[in-house]
Amino acid sequence: MAVVSVRSVVDRVGPTLLHALQLPEDCPAVGDVVIAEPGAPSGIAAGDLVLGVATAEPADAGALVRVSAGQGAAAVLLKPPLAAKPSVRRAAQKAGIALIQVHAATSWAQLVWLLRTVLDALADESESLEEGGDPGSGDLFRLADAVASVVDAPVTIEDTNSRVLAYSARQDLTDPARVATIMGRRIPDDVLARFRSRGVFRELSRGRQTIFVPAQRDGTLPRLIVPIRMGGELLGSMWAVVTGPVPEERAAAFADSAPVVALHLLRRRAHTDAQRRASAELLRGVLEGRAAPRRAVAELDLSDEPHRVVVIEVTGGDGRDAEGLRLALLERISQGVGRRPVATELGGLLYAVVPDRAGPGGWDELREALMTQSVSRRGGVPRAAAGTPETIAALATSRTQADEALGLLRAGLVEGRVVAYDEAWTALVLHRAATGAVAAHVAELGPLRVLREHDEAGKTGYVDTLYEWLRHPGDPRTAAEQLRIHPNTLRYRMKRLLDQVPLDLDDPDVRLALLTQLVALRWS
């Protein structure tokens, strides 16, 4: 049985609703929430959080504190000014019981719901941690139910990318836009655009406590929106589908529940970040060939099929906030791909491992997402290259191939901004041949050196002209098109070129040797 302390309950609910006036170190573990009935304190049991709903006088409050302590209760909860009365505080101190002050505007009925939800969440979280699981992996939905009871409307809890993290019951009593949001686990793009045009997200970023969006002409019902913040950081938002303007008291209660959700999201994010760091480190080991394949399959949840390593680089833009652009890219890829790619960063590049298949989450789908994505209003776009499909044990090979293919993209030796290693074999052959030829200084042999000197001195374009002439034998029109000149200009240049150097272009070995030299210059 998981143990839940009074301190953890107060911390989870947060200072907006609860403030501990006295919190002894040896408080009993919390078991349940009870409302102290007038004149019937005998219903209090060990470990209870006792709510003094009907308590109005300091003398009655003191008596409730003493009886609760005698029954082994964990804490007494009272509203101001009663909770802070000196006589009440002295009674709690003498009895050795926790005394908690409840925010004056808080509804007792809503607080009961909220406290019971928090107790369930903390108990599940403790048990999950004992088993090595995700803290609070299931209680966000229960929390959404509790918040829905506070605002008396169906609620979704969403992150800053408008993805649905949890939702309450009663979603069938909403509108088509909410149903589509639940089904797709994020606000549909057309609905998102309408809310954005009404300035909803601008208001969220400005820190408004609540935002009311009236009904729209397309039948979308009104929304009451509350930002979820902690320490000035926007963590997400809660969206309630309402029938019209919400009474001020209920809207305030809805907003008061945000700190509870914020604490949950922070814990959830901390656990997710820790898992992501561990997975990223393991994946780096796989890509560098120093991690056990069996462990990678188990811990990274990789299927037993060939995978490709895809290296992604953000290019263009104004060059600022490269890490942020890479993270934004990963988020957008994840939204557009059936299954989130296993990814990590190495040397300022993003590496993703995806199955080599055409279905959801495979290379084909990721490729399509990369080709259609931009990542920043500042102009950043992804440039990506994939290695060949390999077993998990050979992913280091696929990574090396991806890096080589990315080099071709960077050098402008292949077209587009997404390339696969196995599709770019001609460019790879020419590039490798050129690299070897450069190392052997082949371009310095024969009469080519003279043509290069003429080009440097007078911008004659002899080297480019000879290259296209040899690439398109017997087809001067196509060669001229590649140079963006008239065919007659091409013939004139070739006549001048041959006047400068003695070349027998009818000799196949001469043509092959010249092409080798020219490839070394163009492809290295």
Task: Burial-class residue 434 by CB neighbours within 10 Å (0-12, 13-18, 19+).
Answer: buried
SS3 state of residue 336: helix
What is the per-residue pLDDT for 341? 62
Residues 6 or more apart whose CB falls under 8 angstroms from that of 316 comprise: 379, 380, 381
Tokens of 350: 């993003």
Task: Beginning with the edge strand found earlier in the chain, give each strand of the sheet holding 211-213 in spatial order.
Answer: 164-167, 155-159, 233-241, 223-230, 211-213
DSSP 5-27: -HHHHHHHH-TTTEEEEE--TTP
Q: Would you list the DSSP string of 123-181? A: HHHHHHHHTT--TTTTHHHHHHHHHHHHHTS-EEEEETTSBEEEE-S-GGGS-HHHHHH
Interatomic CA distance for residues 236 and 486, integer angstroms: 61
pLDDT of res. 346: 81
373, 397, 401, 374: which is closest to 385 by C-alpha?
Answer: 401
3-state SS, one letter per residue, for 23-83: CCCCCCCCCEEEECECCEHHHCCCCEEEECCCCCCHHHHHHHHHHHHHCCCCEEEECCCHH
C-beta contacts of 186-193 below 8 A and 24+ residues apart: 186/158, 186/161, 186/162, 186/335, 187/158, 187/162, 191/220, 192/162
Structure tokens at 482: 């590649």
Tokens of 484: 């963006």
Question: Which one, of 325, 328, 344, lies nearest residue 336 by Cα?
Answer: 328
Tell me how far CA of residue 96 lies from CA of 60, 80, 365, 397, 515, in angstroms.
18, 20, 63, 66, 93
Series of mean pLDDT values for 10-residue runs along the chain (524 residues): 79 75 91 77 83 90 93 94 94 95 79 74 58 52 87 91 84 81 78 89 85 89 92 87 91 88 80 70 84 79 85 64 56 51 79 83 81 57 88 91 92 88 90 85 85 84 90 90 91 90 88 88 76
* Per-residue pLDDT at 78: 95
Q: How far is 369 from 333, CA to CA, in rounded Å?
A: 6
Angle at Cα 36 formed by Cα 30 and Cα 37, nearest 5°? 150
What are the structural domains, with CATH classification, of the chain? 6-118 (3.40.1390.20), 138-267 (3.30.450.40), 288-423 (3.30.70.270), 439-523 (no CATH)
